[in-house]
């Protein structure tokens, strides 16, 4: 399916479509059109049809998309037709909030471990988790074959911890530390930094 | 300066450059080149030069950029040569983490109010803030001329609260609720949803 390289900008829209479709299912809606889906996500119907058609013919002219079918296809494409184990690195406020976050359910991920290097935190509970010693992180991730990490350490520690994550075999990092990371080409990162997100919008303030 | 419309993708990179430059200043570095900056942020030197040159001539051939000067220029362009007051709507785990977040300092924003509609939370303290009644939100935002909100309410409440924010004059929303929002054209939104960010990356898993 990936023989032809699909632009990352298209890949980035698929989770948005999926999220809207999953909300429709919760409201017992069974079929939808690119127009209706577009109204939900603020993207044109033409763009949605074009994006989805990159991967096959999942809808029918006139009758639209069967939602559960399209959800299954999108999950398969995004490789979340399974559950990925995720480690949280850094048990500060953000790490704790993520450890308790209920929003991963039915979306392909489950948090399984939380690490910190602060001796006063190690052994403490966050919800169902016990904070583990970062000293053991590399070995634990390897043993449990965890490829995905959410990085919630302070900025000055982020690159050093990232190097350890890479060594442990991590391939996907969601970085909450407000700093750019140097990574090998086969490791992906996305950045969550509220200040940069806000700055991108204040530009448009009149 | 905005007579020519600059593509949003370029605007989106400016905060990344700014963040890296501010880290350089903290390390007492005074000048940089597009090559060096590029190595920090993982963007090509040519792209950086092209992006920055959209706004004027801020560097010199051969000597590069004077960092504090470039920082001032970027802050001016992004309209963060001032401090924007920000309200947090929703005092759950994520709202609390953001209320205590230290990462806004020197980046153009300060949290000034936290709202919730849960009677058992109203009046409670989060760090320096007292959780206020969402009933008063519209009036408070108007009175204090707050244009920016971080939305950390549950997904089913997000659109309703957003409509109130728009009515109160909000122009920038950072939405942590995992749902797309319908907004008038003059209101900007960015989405922070760890699951969609992760799904965009698992696509590339081999």
Report pLDDT digits (tens) over B149-180.
Answer: 999 999 999 999 999 999 999 999 999 999 99
Residue A89 at interface with chain B, using a CB cutoff of 8 Å: no
**Edge to edge, what strands does the sheet with A148-151 contain?**
A132-133, A109-116, A84-89, A148-151, A172-175, A188-191
pLDDT over threshold 70, residue A138: yes
∠ at Cα B205 (B203, B206), nearest 5°?
125
Exposure of A194 in the CB half-sphere (CA atoms within 13 A)? 28
CATH 1.10.10.10 domain extents, chain B: 8-77
pLDDT of residue B57: 84
This prediction has a pTM of 0.93
| Residue A198 contacts residue B109 (beta carbons within 8 Å) | yes
Q: Is A7 on the interface with B (CB under 8 A)?
A: no
Q: How many CB atoms lie within 10 A of CB B167?
A: 12
Cα–Cα distance between A89 and A81 in angstroms, integer?
A: 25
- Which pairs with CB-CB distance under 8 Å and at least 24 residues apart come from B7-14? B8/A200, B10/B51, B10/B54, B11/A200, B11/A203, B11/A204, B11/B78, B12/A200, B13/B43, B13/B47, B13/B51, B14/A199, B14/A200, B14/A203, B14/B51, B14/B74, B14/B77, B14/B78
Mean pLDDT of chain B: 95
Q: Is A8-77 a CATH 3.30.930.10 domain?
A: no
Predicted confidence band of residue A3 (pLDDT cuts 50, 70, 90): low
Mutate to test the interface with A, among B1, B10, B193, B198 (most CBs of A within 10 A): B198
Lowest mean pLDDT across A58-72, A186-200, B89-103: A58-72
Mean of the pLDDT values across residues B2-21?
91
Nearest by CB to A172, which of B98, B148, B198?
Answer: B198
CATH number of B84-196: 3.40.50.720
- Rounded average pLDDT over B102-128: 96
pLDDT computed for residue A156 by the predictor: 94
Task: Give the mean model confidence (pLDDT) for residues A162-175.
Answer: 98
Q: Do B198 and A174 touch (CB under 8 A)?
A: yes
Which range (A65-74, B49-58, B137-146, B147-156) has the least confidence? B49-58
- % of chain A with per-residue pLDDT over 70: 99
Task: Kindly give, in sequence order, each residue whose CB lies less than 8 Å from that of residue A26, ignoring residues fewer than 6 positions away.
Answer: none
Nearest by CB to residue B98, choosing from A39, A150, A194, is A194
Q: Is the predicted pLDDT of residue B1 greater than 70, yes or no?
A: no
How far is it, in rounded angstroms, from Cα B49 to Cα B44?
A: 9
Res. A57: pLDDT tops 90: no
Write a three-state SS string for chain B.
Answer: CCCCCCCHHHHHHHHHHHHHHHHHHHCCCCEECHHHHHHHHCCCHHHHHHHHHCCCCCEECCCEEEHHHHHHHHHHHCCCCCCEEEEEECCCHHHHHHHHCCCCCCCCEEEEEEEECCCCCCCCEECCEECEEHHHHHHHHHHCCCCEEEECCCHHHHHHHHHHHHHCCCCEEEECCCCCCCCCCCCEEEECCHHHHHHHHHCCCC
Confidence of residue A58 (pLDDT cuts 50, 70, 90): confident
CATH 3.40.50.720 boundaries in chain A: 84-196
Has residue B4 got a pLDDT over 90? no
Q: Which two tokens stand for residue B48?
A: 């950086």
Give the mean model confidence (pLDDT) for residues A158-186. 97
A51–chain B nearest CA distance, Å: 14
The Cα of A190 is separated from the nearest Cα of chain B by a number of Å equal to: 7
């Amino acid at each position: 399916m990936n023989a032809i390289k699909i632009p990352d900008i298209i890949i980035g829209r698929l989770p948005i479509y999926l999220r809207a479709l999953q909300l429709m299912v919760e409201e017992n809606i069974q079929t939808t059109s690119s127009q209706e889906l577009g109204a939900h996500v603020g993207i044109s119907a033409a763009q949605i049809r074009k994006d989805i058609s990159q991967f096959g013919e999942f809808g029918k002219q006139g009758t639209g998309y069967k939602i559960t079918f399209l959800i299954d296809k999108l999950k398969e494409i995004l490789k979340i037709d399974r559950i990925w184990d995720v480690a949280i690195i850094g048990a500060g406020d953000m790490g704790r909030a993520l450890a308790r976050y209920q929003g991963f359910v039915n979306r392909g991920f489950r948090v399984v471990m939380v690490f910190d290097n602060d001796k006063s935190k190690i052994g403490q509970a966050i919800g169902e988790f016990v904070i583990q010693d970062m000293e053991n992180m590399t070995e634990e991730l390897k043993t449990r074959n965890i490829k995905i990490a959410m990085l919630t350490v302070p900025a000055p520690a982020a690159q050093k911890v990232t190097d350890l994550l890479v060594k442990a075999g991590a391939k996907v990092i969601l970085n909450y530390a407000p700093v750019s990371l140097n990574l090998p080409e086969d490791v992906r990162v996305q950045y969550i930094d509220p200040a940069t997100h806000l700055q991108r919008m204040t530009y448009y303030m009149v």
